[in-house]
Structure 1
Amino acid sequence: MALYREGAIEPVADEGPVPVAFAEWLKDGKAPAVSLANTDPVEALQPHLGGLSLIVLHFPKFSDGRAYSQARLLRERFGYRGELRATGGVLRDQLPFLLRCGFDSFESEQTGFGEALASARTLFSVVYQPTGDGRATASQLRLQRRNVRLAAD
């Protein structure tokens, strides 16, 4: 599998800490990187997030979206700011959604992954679901336009 980071078209070297499986990490909680299955409880990491520089979330197949929920919990509810990596069944077509959920690095075997990553943030001009990425949703944009028209009248 090749490692990609946002902003890089070519695969990058993985020079960071080696992620420890969640069950092993629970024994002492001191490793700076942890790898979670999509069935592992991310809530257990909350008190330790300041000491983690990398969290790897696994997609066992592309149609299993539980890691999206884990990512949003980590970023939006628990405030995790370190590297969040998607691995496993990660496809180019999922990149805009993975980025919106807070992933910033990806492991994939697909060709053309880097090119897809470079354009993923701008693929959709309007989004409908709110996330922690700060983009205004379609309903928020409509409301803003309506308020501007009302203020002009």
Structure 2
Amino acid sequence: MQRIIKNDQVVDETWHLLPKDATLEGLSNSDDLLVPMGLWLEHSHALKVRDGGLGVWLDSDEEIECIADELEYFQVVALNFPVFSDGRHFSTARLLRDRYGYKGEVRAIGDVLRDQLFYMKRCGFDAFAVRADRDPYEALESLKDFSETYQAATDQPLPLFRRRG
């Protein structure tokens, strides 16, 4: 069973991440599913009436604006990083939290490495599925790499100079 980092601790993964080419055929009605955005756009009417938890995942070339009006249906929004150097979803996480007010889980999936976690958290991520060949406990330690931040971000809206007494 995969272990993920969620709310600053390592926990067992309970969600089933469906592949990009998934169809409605054979889907369990009671499992917690992370469906690809394409499946959601095509079959949202059927997915809304399922009994299990519902989340959606976006590839790096998919835009959150396509489903922004439907965020209330998702307990999790997972953002895929196909390669370590593709940072487009840092902006997507900020949009989810700051523009759309999304309060559910924002999860990083794909090529997620220790070096990124601190910055991802600053952008609004609160869950991380690090690469399978990496230790989630070691990656968790990266959230403590820096004791103070200067800039404003989603996790700390005031810059340091505004926080000083």
Q: TM-score w.r.t. structure 1 length?
A: 0.79
Structure of greater Rg: 1
Offset of 1:132 from its aligned partner? 1.8
**In 2, Cα distance between the equivalents of 1:21 and 1:70?**
16
CA contact (8 A) 1:4 1:106 kept: yes
Q: Report the alpha carbon displacement of residue 53 of structure 1 after superposing the two structures with TM.
A: 0.7
User: Which residue identity lines up with residue 9 of structure 2 in the other structure?
Assistant: A
Give the CA deviation at 1:4: 2.4
Q: TM-score, normalised by structure 2?
A: 0.74
Unmatched segments (≥5 aa) in structure 2:
16-30, 48-53
CA distance 1:110–1:135, change in 2 (3 Å): farther
Question: CA–CA distance in 1 between the matches of 2:153 and 2:39?
Answer: 31
Partner of residue 34, structure 2: 19
| Range that drifts further, 66-75 or 102-111 | 102-111
1:3 aligns with 2:19: no
Matched length: 141
Q: CA RMSD in A?
A: 2.1
Match of 1:58 in 2: 80
Greater shift after overlay, 11-20 or 77-86? 11-20
> 4+ residue runs of structure 1 moved beyond 3 angstroms?
none
Share of identical aligned residues, percent? Answer: 35
Indicate conservation of the 8 Å contact 1:6/1:117, yes or no: no
- Larger RCO (alpha carbons 8 Å, 6+ apart): 1
Which amino acid is 1:12 matched to? D
Please tell me whether the aligned partners of residues 7 and 118 of structure 1 are also in contact (alpha carbons under 8 angstroms): no
Contiguous gaps of at least 5 residues in structure 1 = 146-153
- Give the whole-Å Cα distance in 1 for the aligned partners of 2:106 and 2:96: 9
Which residue of 1 is the match for residue 43 of structure 2?
A: 28
